[in-house]
Homo-oligomer: A and B are copies of this chain.
Amino acid sequence: MVSAPAIILVRPQLPENIGAAARAMRNCGLADLRLVRPRMRWPHAKARAVAAGADRVLDQAKLFETVEAAVSDLGYVLATTARPRDQVKPVLTPRAAAAELRARAAARTRAGILFGPERTGLENEETDLADAFVSVPLDPGFSSLNLAQAVLVLAYEWFQAGDVTPARRMPPAARVVPASKAELAAFFARLEAELKACGFLRNPEMQPVMARNIRSMFARAELTEQEIRTLHGMLTGLTQRPHAPRERSAGTATKGRPEASKSPARRRR
């Protein structure tokens, strides 16, 4: 964690924002908070209230008199800004900034990100030692991010750049075994036989198209083994059921298949 970037708040005005920034830092695995001349006395109870448990970050926050002192031990510094200056330095998106920060971390270079005061942002002189600017692409008609929100965006991108969570996965708690194609084919065969028998698939010309549409609908659901069993149970129940309406009985549909009864029975209520 030594190589995770420092978050440097320059002349922050509201302790609530410092607290919210600390919380966002903890969310994203950052710990090194530095404050350059905060407007209110420090430490401050309001910061702690908003930090919602990120006390360690607040307790370890370091105070500095100048930006130069706050970045003195760093080898790579980014300056956030809503309005990139006329200084000839690259302007990075937060995502590109995170990639740069990860590259520096891999090279064991200590890095930091400067954030200016709520209303005014960083002064020109305060960005002299920065290697690059970071600007968050936002609606041009409303591009002023709250300070803690800006810290979150940078911290979030830092974390994501090192995270390996699959873009799309199934909940870890759900024991998901995808149905095999053989199980799926067997279910389709049974379903189509039942639909022919009851007369739903009675038009021989339309039959192949309708069958394909029904298969598509189920294919899209990416069914599990358990769900195939549930569907078999549902089919058994529906075909055994008299055609005249009667009061529903949760037991009927899934007789002899207790493991399949849970999900549909719960839904029905």
A163 within 8 A of B: yes
Closest Cβ–Cβ distance, residue A71 to chain B (whole Å): 17
Task: Tell me if A257 is interfacial: C-beta within 8 Å of chain B.
Answer: no
CB-CB nearest in chain B for A166: B93
Kindly state whether residue A173 has any CB partner on chain B within 8 Å: yes
A118-151 toward B: CB 8 Å interface, digit per residue (1/0)? 0000000000000001001111001111101100
Q: In whole angstroms, how far apart are the Cα atoms of A159 and B145 in the complex?
A: 14
In the assembled complex, A236 has its CB within 8 A of some CB on chain B: no
On whether A156 and B153 interact (CB within 8 A), knowing A53-B142, A169-B90, A176-B88, the answer reads yes
Closest Cβ of chain B: how far from A103's Cβ, in Å? Answer: 13
Our pick among B96, B145, B172 for the contact of A168 (Cβ within 8 Å) is B96
Is A47 close to B, CB under 8 A?
no
Q: Is the CB–CB distance between A91 and B142 below 8 Å?
A: no
Q: How many copies are assembled? A: 2
The one of B23, B85, B146, B174 that contacts A52, using a Cβ cutoff of 8 Å: B146
Main secondary structure of the interface of A (DSSP, over half): loop
How far is the CB of A1 from the nearest CB of chain B, in Å?
A: 10
Q: With an 8 A cutoff between CB atoms, is A237 at the interface? A: no
Q: Do B138 and A95 touch (CB < 8 A)?
A: no
Q: Looking at the assembled complex, report how far the CB atom of A24 sits from the nearest CB atom of chain B, in whole angstroms.
A: 6
Given A26-B142, A144-B52, A149-B149, the answer on whether A88 and B174 have CB atoms closer than 8 Å is yes
* Contact sample, A vs B, 13 pairs, CB 8 Å cutoff: A24-B149, A27-B145, A84-B172, A84-B173, A85-B171, A86-B171, A90-B168, A91-B170, A91-B171, A93-B165, A93-B168, A95-B160, A149-B149
User: Closest 8 A-B residue pairs measured CB to CB?
Assistant: A96-B167, A84-B171, A86-B173, A137-B165, A26-B142, A29-B139, A137-B163, A86-B174
A sample of 9 more A-B contacts (CB under 8 A), given A95-B167, A156-B156, is A24-B146, A26-B142, A27-B142, A84-B172, A86-B174, A88-B170, A88-B176, A91-B168, A99-B167
